[in-house]
Amino acid sequence: MQITINVNGTEHTADVEPRRLLVDAIRSDFGLRGTHIGCDTTSCGACTVLVDGVPMKSCTMFAVQADGASVTTVEGLKQGAELSNVQKGFAQEHGLQCGFCTPGMMLVSTALLEENPDPSEDDIRWAISGNICRCTGYVNIVKAVQWAAAQNGGEEG
Amino acid sequence: MQTQTHHKPCTSPEIGGVGHSLRRVEDARFLQGAGNYVDDVNLPGMLHMAILRSPVAHAKLVSIDSSAAMELDGVLAVVTGELMAQHNLAWMPTLSGDTQAVLATDKVRYQGQEVACVIATDRYIAEDALRLIDVDYEELEPITNPQRSLEADAPLIRTDKEDVTDNVSFTWEAGDKDATDAAFAKAAKVVSIETHYPRSHPSPLETCGIVADVHPATGKATIYMTSQAPHAHRTLFALVAGLPEQNIRIISPDIGGGFGNKVPIYPGYVVATAASLLIGLPVKWVESRTENLISTGFGRDYYMTGSLALDDNGRILGLRTDLLADQGAFYSDAQPTKFRAGLFHIVTGSYDFDAAHVTAKGAFTNKAPGGVAYRCSFRVTEASYLIERLIQNAANEIGMDPAEFRRMNFIQPEQFPYTSPTGFVYDSGDYETAMQMAMDMVGYDELRAEQAAAREEGRLMGIGMASFTEVVGAGPAHTYDIAGLKMFDSAELRVHPTGKAILKLGVKTQGQGHETTFAQIVAEELGIPATDIAVMHGDTDNTPYGLGTYASRSTPVGGGATAMVARKLRDKARKIAAHLLEASPEDLDWEPGKFSVKGSPDSSVSIQDIAFAAYTNHPEDEEAGLEGVHYYNPPNMTYPFGTYIVVVDLDPDTGVWTVRRMVAVDDCGVRINPMIVDGQIHGGLTEGFAKANMQWITFDEDGNCIGSNFMDYLVPTAWETPRFELGETVTPSPHHPIGAKGVGESATVGSPAAFVNAVIDALAHLGVTNIDMPVLPDRVWKAIHNA
């Protein structure tokens, strides 16, 4: 099937089997390798991307379901030449170790801050609870999101 | 060694040596989706492999019909054990001196065992082809626990071994039986525990994988692999496959977590490499999560009994432990050769007594093999858990506060170096200071008062403690080797003419931040800013030989090598500085970044100027250049320690316990990058909590693995994970070049007992003395109702 997906502002077309997973289209057909596969069962969130702004686990979504949609991956997080505040927050607060969960974590965090610019710690923990990190114990991921929220607030204020 | 509350940096923030919380240099690529993990490696013409695995736990392999699979468009080959046997590759050696089937030829011995591999142009096609392979199995009785395995009428699992008549994989002992018997003979009280440290799986978020690229014209094998030990793996590949070692290049690119899971060599690696060799094209295989959980190296699965002998006053006289290890179908534990139960004999822990005896036996079962040290230095986790659970129960039995009981029995600071009854020589420690700090942080006395009041009200709360001692940094070459390879490690340092440097390591990060912290060690020793130093690792063609990263050995061993090679270069830099300053080398003073003439500090030369001179104006009697390599053989292991305190509230109606507080005081010697050390502790505490609370792998009576995906194998999310409060003391290692001890595993080793002790503390007055991990609500509820 012929599909067209706007990924990070660029239109990509591909001829895919109906069963092809969105994550495989993103990684193999579109060549964007920042989206990772961790569990194949929607459990770990390493493959999280934003589909029309909503966090989706791309290992359990068919590419054809994203036909016509706008997808944001980790490669699309930068604001021009600069890292986004979420990206900066992860670096500042040591919110990543091996880096494998990081793209998914940053995408759900970005979506959270869009919806709730001033989240509590519980809000953050709940928002990232569909994403597994095996390295950090989540402590510094929470701090990273708080850091980004503070920066965003500062800019608006 | 003097214990301090923290280590003050000796270098400026601009240099960024030891003690500075530098932000990580590796983050830039990870934050932008530009990491390069094995699954990101794509080569021209690359083929994909999928593995057919046994659905049954124990069966004779009668026949394999792969003709239908071969007819599928896009399938190039179906590899079976028969084909591998033609190349003498159906079996491979394990890290513990056993052999393991690469692809089954005679029997399958566990569910998930590799039976056949499909090589195809696409992973989807390869998976389709698996379903077209017809395998005929003749099922045998599955053995799913080691107790059954050792019964006289149990079926023999290892029928591949000619001289084997039972299912025993190893027997081992340590310590002094006679002295321990004598200690128990004069004991006023003996306290015992029997517990199972259940099977768990490291399950790093990135599964294991390989891209094998054997060039058909040159024979050069370039192997991208999820490897914690690329050099050792190259040697093993050479020995197993008969390939010339200089023609093998192992590249371990970015690794998405390891925790021990990426230490062994797995059958998939061997078949993919063989397939690339035979077909002449690159072959990729990346595990699914289910493959990872059901077939690769698990952790733990030790049935443990332990007894403490006490005198009238509650002083420990001796310790006796007996272990039964569930080994799975092949003995493929990753551990030093001489130590069949790893370093379990560190079980005497933080306590001073004269006699201990450890006996251990391993049994084959129809389960996946590969008892790896899951975020632990070779069974130190099991040992720490057993002694800290015994300490809690002993204190309860004699009616003494567990903190007081520890205080009375701790090894004292003046006793270091301390020789343990099983032969370890602890380098340094101050256990009471760390424990007192944790007690002060948590408000121990107030909590005990609250607990007493709560019991009056019928409310259940518990305060659990663990004061662990680890042994890490294997290790001195006279004692420690893996598959014959001595456990030294290495560093090569090249300072370029402009004063920038590249450091090449034998160890390999999986997320620990080596590219930042190892640069800081060089910055400390040479005064070159850490940001001017690139760190390279994980590529056997371009780094010196080393045994790799596991068992918290990177900082103790690789870090030692890094400091020592930097010191070699500093010695040479002194001679060049003397030449430039027209002084004698002995008349120069060093401070980070420059040499100056004694008594005339204005007459100085920077390390950058010295580096330039090394290539442009070096002394005539010296070789040009400022480069060197050091192979560091540590004189001893290091012994990190700490005290963890957990406070839980427990609902007697449901058996659910929740963590109210978790205080962790760690002493890992000098901290190179405090931010990264804290991150390591956070992660370790989470894995400790996971094992105490939820995370285990079980099997049903047919040998089906329960826990083959992240819906059945529960790892904690941000929602379940407790909040942590960290404290530190610093007792440097006296023998390590920079006084560091290693920290990656302390929290996983020390914390499970603290969580379980807290639950037991909440229930002890009801008569509950033990609940095995994971301490699930139904187990708690039953313990309350059976008490």
Domains of chain B (ranges; CATH) run 27-35+489-632 (3.30.365.10), 38-140+207-255+262-295 (3.90.1170.50), 302-474+636-786 (3.30.365.10)
On whether any CB of chain A is under 8 Å from the CB of B513, the answer is: yes
Residue B228 designated active-site: yes
- Reported as a single tens digit per residue, the pLDDT across B703-738 is 999 999 999 999 999 999 999 999 999 999 999 999
* pLDDT at residue B242 in the model: 84
Reported confidence tier of residue B334, pLDDT bands at 50, 70, 90: confident
B389, B302 in Cβ contact below 8 A?
Answer: no
B229, B508 in Cβ contact below 8 A?
Answer: yes
Q: What is the DSSP letter of B4?
A: B
Q: Check whether B2 has a pLDDT greater than 80.
A: no
Residue B375 designated active-site: yes
H-state helical runs in B361-401 = 380-398
If you average pLDDT over residues B574-580, what whole number do you get? Answer: 97
Which residue in chain A has the smallest CA separation from B31?
A: A87
CA dihedral B140, B141, B142, B144 (to 10 degrees): -170
Rounded to whole angstroms, how far apart are CA atoms B771 and B787?
A: 11
Reported confidence tier of residue B375, pLDDT bands at 50, 70, 90: very high
* pLDDT at residue A156 in the model: 46
B345, B681 in Cβ contact below 8 A?
Answer: no
Which residue in chain A has the smallest CA separation from B688?
A: A137
Please, what CATH class does the domain formed by A85-152 belong to? mainly alpha
Calculate the alpha carbon distances from A1 to A9, A21, A61, A104 in Å: 22, 13, 15, 27
Phi-psi label, residue B741: left if phi above 0, alpha if psi -120 to 50, beta otherwise: alpha
H-state helical runs in B210-369 = 230-241, 267-279, 289-295
Q: B656 or B372: which carries more pLDDT confidence?
A: B656
Q: What is the DSSP letter of B156?
A: P
Reported confidence tier of residue A154, pLDDT bands at 50, 70, 90: low
pLDDT over 70, % of chain B: 100
Which overall architecture, per CATH, does domain A2-76 show?
Roll (3.10)
Residue B450: which residues within 8 A CB-CB, separation 6 or more? B461
Residue A103: which residues within 8 A CB-CB, separation 6 or more? A34, A35, A36, A46, A48, A73, A74, B33
- Reported as a single tens digit per residue, the pLDDT across B214-253 is 999 999 999 999 999 999 999 998 988 888 999 999 999 9
Residue B670: which residues within 8 A CB-CB, separation 6 or more? B7, B18, B19, B730, B732, B733, B738, B739, B740
Calculate the alpha carbon distances from A154 to A112, A118, A147, A151 in Å: 17, 11, 11, 5
If you average pLDDT over residues B325-346, what whole number do you get? Answer: 93
Lowest mean pLDDT among B324-338, B654-668, B767-781: B324-338
Query: Pick the catalytic residue: B117, B208, B376, B705?
Result: B376
Q: Check whether B488 has a pLDDT greater than 80.
A: yes
Q: Can you state the percent helix, strand and coil of chain B, rounding each to 5?
A: 30, 25, 45
Which residue in chain A has the smallest CA separation from B516?
A: A97
- Reported as a single tens digit per residue, the pLDDT across B243-279 is 899 999 999 999 999 999 999 999 999 999 999 999 9
Q: How many Cα atoms within 13 Å fall on the side-chain side of residue B227?
A: 31
Q: What is the DSSP string of B448-480?
A: HHHHHHHHHHT-EEEEEEEEEE--BS---TTT-
Q: What is the DSSP letter of A29?
A: I
B438, B681 in Cβ contact below 8 A?
Answer: no
Q: Answer whether B35 sits within 8 Å of A20, measured CB to CB.
A: no
Query: Pick the catalytic residue: B228, B327, B335, B510?
Result: B228
Burial category of B266 from C-beta neighbours within 10 Å (exposed 0-12, middle 13-18, buried 19 and up)? buried
* pLDDT at residue B197 in the model: 98
**Among A34, A74, A97, beta carbon nearest to B511:** A97
Residues 639-698 on B with a CB inside 8 Å of A are 675-676, 678-679, 682-687
* pLDDT at residue A155 in the model: 53
**Among A40, A136, A140, beta carbon nearest to B289:** A40
Rounded to whole angstroms, how far apart are CA atoms B168 and B722?
A: 40
If you average pLDDT over residues B66-76, what whole number do you get? Answer: 98
Residue B315 designated active-site: no
On whether any CB of chain B is under 8 Å from the CB of A123, the answer is: no
The full set of domain ranges for chain A reads 2-76, 85-152
Amino acid (1-letter code) at residue A139: V
B270, B99 in Cβ contact below 8 A?
Answer: no
* pLDDT at residue A157 in the model: 38
Reported confidence tier of residue B7, pLDDT bands at 50, 70, 90: confident
Which residue in chain A has the smallest CA separation from B509?
A: A98
How far away is chain B from the Cα of A29, in angstroms, using its nearest Cα? 12
Q: Answer whether A98 sits within 8 Å of B679, measured CB to CB.
A: no
Q: Answer whether A100 sits within 8 Å of B711, measured CB to CB.
A: no
B703, B695 in Cβ contact below 8 A?
Answer: no
Residue B591 designated active-site: no
Structure tokens at B16: 């960024």
If you average pLDDT over residues A98-116, what whole number do you get? Answer: 98
pTM of the complete model: 0.97
Structure tokens at B254: 């970015």
